[in-house]
C-alpha cells in the first residue's frame, strides 16, 4: 500500500475513485461515459444540483448564499474577488500568511488599494498573526485559513466588521465552520474536495453588485450564479468526482466527523515529532495545521537518509516545500490513520537505527 501524503492534487476517498471509473464506463445509466456527455443533460444537471445540496448540508448554509463551481483554481479567485468587490478608490484588508496570501495581495493591488493588516513574513510565515484590528472602513477582509506550504492554520476566525472572505483551498470541509461568520469562502478542489480542475465558491449574495467597473462576463460571479455554474461548459468530470467526495464526507458523518478524524491523525504525528529526538516541527505549536504537518531533522544530514527510508516504506509525497525544507505530510480528509501510523513507525525505526 502506498501512503499518499501529497500536498495536492491529493488523496481522494476510495469511493470517489471507484465511482469515477464507473461513471467513465457508464454514467448514470445513460450507456455513455461522463467524459462524453452533454453538460446540459438532465443527468449532469442532477450532479450539479446534488453537489450544491451537499455543500449546503455540510456547512449548514442558509438562504442568501450562492454556491458555484468555477475554473482556474484559487489563483483566478485572487483576481475575481477584487474585480467583483473592490472599486479602484477603495481599500481591502488582507492578512499575509504565506505565498498564496501574497499572491492574492499582489492581484488585489491591480484593482484597488490593499491594507496588509498583519503579516508573519518576518518569521517565514511560521505562525498566524493575532491581535490585529480589522478596519471597519475597508471593503472586505481576506484571509487564508490554512497555509499548505508552512503548515499553519487559523484555529478560529475573527469577528469581522466588514465582509470576511476566506481562501479555504487546503482545509475546506476538514472541520465545522460557522458559515454566518463568512461572506465568501472559496477553494480549489484539488486538496480536500476533488481532483484538479474545479473551484468552489460560496458567496453571500448581498456583497455583489456594488462595483462600478465593467466585469468581463466569465469573471463575473453574478453571471455564474444566474446560470447555475453553466454559463459555459463547466469542468464536468471534476465536479462529478467532487460530488462523490462530498458524499463520502457526509456518509462518514460530515465535517464534525472529519475534524475528529483529522485531529486524531494530526495528534498522532505531532506527538511523534515532539517526542522523537531526531525531528522538530517548524511552526508555532498553537498554529499548527491539521492538514499539512511540516517538520525537519535536527541534524540536516539526516534528511536524505530519512527520505530514503520513507521511499522504502512507500511514504509518498512527504518532501517539504523548498521554502521550508525538510518534510511535509499532508493529512487531508481522505488520508487514513494507518498512513500516519506508517509514517510514525518509520520515524521511530529511524531513531532506533540511526
44 three-class SS: helix
Q: Which strand (E) or helix (H) includes residue 164?
A: strand 164-167
191 is catalytic: yes
What one-character-per-residue DSSP string does 107-142 give?
HHTTTSEEEEEEE-GGGTT-S---S----TTSS-EE
Q: Which is nearer to its own copies, 322 or 352 (CB)?
A: 322
Piece of the chain touching its own copies by CB under 8 A; list 124-132, 177-185, 217-225, 287-295: 217-225
Q: Which is nearer to its own copies, 157 or 231 (CB)?
A: 231
Residues in contact with its own copies, shown as a per-residue x/- string from 41 to 80 under the rule CB under 8 A: ------------------------------xxxxxx-xx-
Piece of the chain touching its own copies by CB under 8 A; list 150-158, 233-241, 267-275, 344-352: 233-241
By CB under 8 A, tell whether 144 contacts its own copies: no
75 three-class SS: helix
Piece of the chain touching its own copies by CB under 8 A; list 46-54, 124-132, 172-180, 216-224: 216-224
248 is catalytic: no
100 three-class SS: helix
Q: Which is nearer to its own copies, 61 or 239 (CB)?
A: 239
Phi, psi of 231 (to 5 degrees): -60, -45
Q: What is the DSSP letter of 196?
A: T
Q: Which residues, 6 or more positions from 285, have their beta carbon under 8 angstroms from its beta carbon?
A: none
* CA–CA dist 92, 116 (Å, integer): 8
Catalytically annotated residue among 167, 171, 183, 287: 167
In 3D space, the residue among 254, 280, 272 whose CA is nearest the CA of residue 151 turns out to be 280
Binding site for its own copies (CB under 8 A): 2, 4, 6-12, 16-17, 20-21, 24-25, 30-33, 35-39, 71-76, 78-79, 83, 103, 106-107, 110, 188, 190, 195-198, 214, 216-219, 231-238, 241, 314, 316-317
Active-site positions?
A: 100, 167, 191
Amino acid at each position: 500500500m502506498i501512503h499518499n501524503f501529497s500536498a495536492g492534487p491529493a488523496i481522494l476517498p476510495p469511493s470517489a475513485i471507484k465511482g469515477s471509473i464507473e461513471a467513465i464506463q457508464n454514467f448514470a445509466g445513460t450507456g455513455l461515459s461522463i467524459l462524453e456527455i452533454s453538460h446540459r443533460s438532465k443527468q449532469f444537471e442532477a450532479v450539479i444540483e446534488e453537489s450544491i445540496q451537499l455543500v449546503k448540508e455540510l456547512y449548514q448554509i442558509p438562504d442568501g448564499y450562492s454556491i458555484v463551481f468555477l475554473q482556474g483554481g484559487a489563483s483566478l479567485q485572487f483576481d475575481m474577488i477584487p474585480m467583483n468587490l473592490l472599486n479602484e478608490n477603495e481599500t481591502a484588508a488582507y492578512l499575509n500568511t504565506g505565498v498564496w496570501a501574497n499572491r492574492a495581495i499582489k492581484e488585489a493591488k491591480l484593482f484597488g488599494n490593499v491594507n496588509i493588516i498583519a503579516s508573519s513574513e518576518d518569521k517565514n510565515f511560521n505562525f498566524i498573526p493575532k491581535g490585529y484590528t480589522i478596519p471597519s472602513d475597508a471593503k472586505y477582509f481576506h484571509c487564508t485559513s490554512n497555509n499548505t506550504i508552512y503548515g499553519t492554520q487559523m484555529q478560529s476566525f475573527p469577528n469581522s466588521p466588514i465582509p470576511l472572505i476566506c481562501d479555504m483551498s487546503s482545509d475546506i470541509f476538514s472541520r465545522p465552520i460557522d458559515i454566518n461568520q463568512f461572506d465568501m469562502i472559496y477553494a480549489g478542489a484539488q486538496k480536500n474536495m476533488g481532483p484538479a480542475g474545479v473551484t468552489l465558491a460560496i458567496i453571500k449574495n448581498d456583497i455583489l453588485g456594488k462595483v462600478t467597473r465593467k466585469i468581463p462576463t466569465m469573471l463575473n460571479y453574478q453571471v455564474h450564479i444566474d446560470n447555475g455554474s453553466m454559463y459555459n461548459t463547466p469542468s464536468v468530470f471534476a465536479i462529478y468526482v467532487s460530488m462523490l467526495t462530498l458524499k463520502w464526507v457526509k456518509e462518514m458523518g460530515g465535517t464534525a466527523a472529519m475534524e475528529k478524524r483529522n485531529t486524531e491523525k494530526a495528534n498522532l504525528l505531532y506527538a511523534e515529532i515532539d517526542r522523537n529526538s531526531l525531528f522538530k516541527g517548524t511552526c508555532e505549536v498553537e498554529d499548527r495545521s491539521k492538514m499539512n504537518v511540516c517538520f525537519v531533522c535536527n541534524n540536516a544530514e539526516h534528511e536524505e537518509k530519512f527520505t530514503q527510508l520513507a521511499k522504502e516504506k512507500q511514504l509518498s509525497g512527504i518532501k517539504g516545500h523548498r521554502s521550508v525544507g525538510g518534510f511535509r505530510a499532508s493529512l487531508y480528509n481522505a488520508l487514513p490513520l494507518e498512513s500516519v501510523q506508517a509514517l510514525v513507525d518509520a520515524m521511530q525505526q529511524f531513531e532506533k537505527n540511526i
